Amino acid sequence: MPGRVIGEYVRAVQSSGRNARLYLYGLFLCGLGQSIFSLLFNLYLRELGVSDAGIGQILSKISLGAAVAALPVAFLFRRVSSRAILVTAGALTAFTYLLLGSLVAPELLLLAAFVSGMVVTTFRLSIAPVVMREVPPPLRPYLFSAAFTVLFLAAIAGSALGGAMPHLFSAIRETRGSRFAGRSGRPARSPCSPRFLSIAWAGGPRQRRRSGRLPCGSKSEN
């Protein structure tokens, strides 16, 4: 019985056309990337020294942005092509994720989180109208059920991969450091932490002077 049901879903998806299959592939990649980003973003906020309450406020702004954008987007579909909204929202989603991974100031993080919630919701809502035009009505229930399964599997894979990435990059960093130490004959210096890289990106030397810290564990001459 389960095999017959799965086979029926597979045949329905295969007969839905090339665009429907690309929709499922893209949905898996989007879910995978968002799951990895969500996990690493929490670790990034921890590295910045943000408290549990501060992390909760930032994450709540994402949900607030999603709620604010849900209703206006429905009216926007009447005036603008859903395909144009999908492409624009996808590009803005990548840009807002880049901002969330680069900003340091709490106020800017809150603003970027709110905007990211809006554009991600717009992106997700604009997918269904585009796909419904490409798939015949009898096959739509199968396709959207398969889409839910794909998102669920992508979330599991993204969580597992995101949890392993810090350990993987740490091992690569230690391997490169030991190779450099062996070639130069000097002990390898500890590489800059993600927190310092973020502070250097946002504030530069002025913020380092303000905090009294120097990069890579160096000590001040004073």
Q: Domain range for residue 184?
A: 170-217
Residue 82 has pLDDT above 90, yes or no: no
Q: Are residues 174 and 134 in the same domain?
A: no
Q: Are residues 93 and 121 in the same domain?
A: yes
CB-based contacts of 85, cutoff 8 Å, min separation 6: 73, 76, 77, 122, 126
CA nearest neighbour of 194 among 165, 221, 158: 165
- 203-208: Cβ within 8 A, 24+ apart: 203/104
Residue 86 exposure: Cα atoms within 13 Å on the Cβ side: 14
Q: Are residues 184 and 149 in the same domain?
A: no
7 in any annotated domain: yes
Q: Are residues 147 and 212 in the same domain?
A: no
CB 45 within 8 A of CB 55: yes
46 in any annotated domain: yes
Total count of domains within the chain: 2
Q: Are residues 56 and 109 in the same domain?
A: yes
Least confident range of 40-44, 59-63, 137-141 = 137-141
Between 101 and 189, residue with greater pLDDT: 101
Question: Mean pLDDT across the chain, nearest whole number?
Answer: 78
pTM of the model: 0.69
222 in any annotated domain: no
To the nearest whole percent, how much of the chain has pLDDT over 70? 78
Q: Are residues 76 and 137 in the same domain?
A: yes
To the nearest whole percent, how much of the chain has pLDDT over 90? 15
- Place 207 in a pLDDT band, splitting at 50, 70 and 90: very low
pLDDT of residue 213: 43
Q: Are residues 60 and 95 in the same domain?
A: yes
Which two structure tokens, joined as six digits, stand for 58?
């930032």
- Which residue type is seen at 20? A
Q: Are residues 32 and 124 in the same domain?
A: yes
